[in-house]
Every structure is written in C-alpha cells, then in structure tokens.
Amino acid sequence: MVAYAQSSAKMYRIGWLGQSSPPAVADRNAGEFQQSLRDLGYVEGRNLAIEYRYASGNVQRLPELAGELVRLKVDVIVTSGEPAALAAKSATNAIPIVATEFGVDPVKAGLVTSLGRPGGNVTGLAASSEELWPKRLELFKQVVPKLSRLAVLWNPANAGNASCVSEIQTAARTMGVQLRSMEVGDSRALERAFADIAKEAADGLATCWDSVTLEHARPIADFALKQRLPTVG
C-alpha cells in the first residue's frame, strides 16, 4: 500500500537529460525512474511534471538541451551518461543534478572535487569500470589466443571514452596487442569504421560505453558476427 504523503498543491518539475534516444529505443532507465517516483507518491500530472530532453546520440546537442532545462527552472536535473552530466554541470551550479549511467571516475571527469567531499551541486552513482579493462583483455586473450590486432570503437565527444581508450591501450601494450582506434561520433563514422576493420583484418573488437555504441548495438553485433570477429565491451 502506497501512502501519498508527499502529494500537495505544489507541482514538482524534474528535468531528464539523456544522451541516447527516447525510451522506446534505448533509455530504459527513464521507465524505471518513473516507476520509482510513483512508488514514492510522485505521479506525473498530479504533483509531478517531467521535462524530457534527448540528444539521440548527438552529444553536441547536450549543452543546448541542458540550457533549456535550466531556463525552465526545474527543481532537479537527472542525467543519463557522462556527457549529459557534464553538460548539466556546465549549465548550472545551483540546480541539483543527479547523475546516472556514469561509467568513469567522477573526479577525473571534473564532476566533483573528491569522492569524500564532492562539493558542488552534483550527486549520483558512478561505476568506474575503466579499471576493469586489463582484466577484460586478459580474459579476452584466453578466448582469442592469437589476438594481435584489436579495433576499438569509441566516441571522442564523450570524455569517459577517452579514459576507456587509454585503459585499453595500456592493457593492450602489456600483452603485445596492437590497438586500432576507431572514432565513431555518428552512424556514418560507424559505417566507415566497419569498412576499415574489415579491410585491416582485425583479430578482435572492443567497444566503449557511449550513446553511439548503445544506439547501434545491433548493427555492431551483426557486423561482428558476419566478420566472425570476437567482441568485448
């Protein structure tokens, strides 16, 4: 039984800023977020309004979309992905920001001063998974013993991806694996990367977590299967 103690005449406004596409395509986080709010007694149309802004994989649009939410004077901004969090932080130092789907060290990214004393207006949950790449590649090499050339798909517009590539490069170097960096900022760049990877006969494929790789997860998987290319991500 849910007690709607929070219900009142006040209408709360939340800004949702995502780097991917609307929920039907990629952002399942939004649906889970809505359900959690309902569990707490906040219902859209009754005491809650949510302003959704999606970049649909084009992270260059995020600063503009973050600015829109600030001008709407929302009570809090919830972000999905590193670029969205950074765009929101650049847009306001007053409105609270809750960062989700964050896969890089928030201190390195410039979101907070320190983990112990973050300061500022940003909070949330980060999974600093870039440190896992040495172990991922170690396991990958067990599956693909002859691995010598590894192609990596990453988005240079995503600050977290730069850290991802750096970690993969360091791990690959210790294993004697040559890295082929493939920048994929959009679908056209991804198609070019596919052609280059096929031409260069890579032994494996790695993908960094980004809206572009998430949006095109099926084409990437189909390409890897067609090329019989072992993949890690």
In this structure, which topology does domain 12-127 adopt according to CATH?
A: Rossmann fold (3.40.50)
Distance CA 40, CA 7 (A): 10
Query: β-strand 178-183 against 12-18: which pairing, if any?
Result: unpaired
pLDDT tens, residue by residue, 95-143: 999 998 776 778 877 888 887 888 899 998 876 666 788 899 999 999 9
Rounded distance, CA 157 to CA 177, Å? 25
Q: What is the DSSP letter of 129?
A: G
Q: How confident is the model at residue 80 (pLDDT cuts 50, 70, 90)?
A: confident
Q: What is the H or E stretch that residue 178 is in?
A: strand 178-183
For the segment 159-178, the average pLDDT, to the nearest whole number, is 88
pTM for the whole structure: 0.66
35-52 residue pLDDT tens: 889 999 998 889 999 999
DSSP 100-125: EEE-S-TTTTTS-S-SSS--TTEEEE
Q: How confident is the model at residue 233 (pLDDT cuts 50, 70, 90)?
A: confident
Dihedral angle at the C-alpha atoms of 56, 183, 140, 221, nearest 10 degrees? 50
- Where in the chain are the domains? 12-127, 130-232
Q: Answer whether 50's CB lies under 8 Å from 12's CB.
A: no
Name the superfamily (CATH) of residues 130-232: Response regulator (3.40.50.2300)
Question: Which residue type is seen at 144?
Answer: V
